[in-house]
Amino acid sequence: MKCDRILICMSSKLRFFDTSMGSFLDNVVKQLPSVPDFVGHFPAQDETVENYKTFMRLSKYVKIQRLVFEKDMAPSQFSPEKFTDNINKGKVNQTRTMLGNFYQWHNMKRCADLKKECEDIHGKYDLVIWCRPDLYYFNKLEDLSKLPTGFYTIGHDNHLCGLNDRFDLGTSDQMQKRMNIGGYFVNEWYPKYSSDMNVLFSGKNVPDKNKNPQWNAEIVTRHFIQKKLMLKTNKLKLCFGKLRSDNIATLPYWFEVHGNDYTGKVCDEDLFQKDLYEKLNSYKKQGKGYEGASWGVLDINELKL
């Protein structure tokens, strides 16, 4: 794919940002064929001296075009209570998690607006990357200039056989549409699919007895990208974990090794990397409290990859 002009869009809450930046620079930014532009949209509470220092580190390797901190829209404007009729209300975290996804999609939409502002002045980018800031990368992004033009997603953490919603890339037009998932959820997905048990779960895999309806943003993401936008989901070999603290990250989740009777044991969106899995699994720990992931976490300070 053509990579002369690249834009990185980053949005969502700046959790453990200084910790994530080193792996982001080494495994993503420095692997790109040309120096990228950068835009970011984040919650107002993340506008701190510490985060600005981290952006200064980033600015040595990217051209920062827009950096915006704005207060999240009020829950009365973007209320999850309107969308909880069919989720498992026995799990109190589900409404809170849904609200977090709403805010992520709002920041993503604002990131798309910043992208368009830049393109209105300088012209379209050849390649656009969107990612969350709270990821720890375990391997290097492949040479994108050698890949066919298309839309690319990640081959792990496709929970309930949805689509990983933390990193993807594509052409300018593809990504402009992709970053508008929030409106799709409110106006189309929820009215159409929220009562369908075969959509709330991967129906072909999950036994009926285990079908407690639950919120899952990855399912919405897969419907939006594949059914609405009709995009083919090519897979990157890039792998990462979500940071749970300054030293703990989740292991990549692959159905082949982490699936069970509840989730299903096969997902056609996975790209299982056995060698990397075995290396990472040798550092596996059982998370505690909010650090937890049922498939395991690791201490990034112990990694030797």
pLDDT tens for the 305 residues of the chain, in order: 999 999 999 999 999 999 999 999 999 999 999 999 999 999 999 999 999 999 999 999 999 999 999 998 776 666 666 666 655 554 555 666 777 888 899 999 999 999 999 999 999 999 999 999 999 999 999 999 999 999 999 999 998 888 999 999 999 999 999 999 998 988 888 888 777 766 765 444 444 555 566 678 898 999 999 999 999 999 999 999 999 999 999 999 999 999 887 777 889 999 999 999 999 999 998 755 545 678 899 999 999 76
Q: With respect to residue 161, please indicate whether it lies within any of the assigned structural domains.
A: yes
Beta-strand pair 127-131/6-11? parallel
Contact 158, 218 (CB under 8 A): yes
Domain containing 38 — which CATH number? 3.90.550
Q: Is residue 135 part of a domain?
A: yes
Give the pair of three-digit tokens for residue 22.
């080193």
Instruction: Note whether residue 251 is domain-resident.
Output: no
> Is 290 within the bounds of a domain?
no
Per the listing, tokens 């620079």 go with 25
Tell me the Cα Rg of the chain: 19
Give this prediction's pTM: 0.92
293 CB contacts (<8 Å, ≥6 apart)?
244, 250, 251, 253, 287
Note whether 6 and 36 are within 8 A (CB).
yes
Residue 113 lies in a domain: yes
Contact in structure between 86 and 200 (CB atoms under 8 Å):
yes
68 strand-pairing partners: 41
What residue numbers bound the domain in which 205 lies?
6-243
CA distances from 230 to 2, 143, 174, 177, 216 (A): 22, 25, 10, 11, 20
- Does residue 67 lie within any of the structural domains? yes
Residue 16 inside a domain? The answer is: yes
24 within some domain? yes
Look at the chain and report how many structural domains it folds into.
1
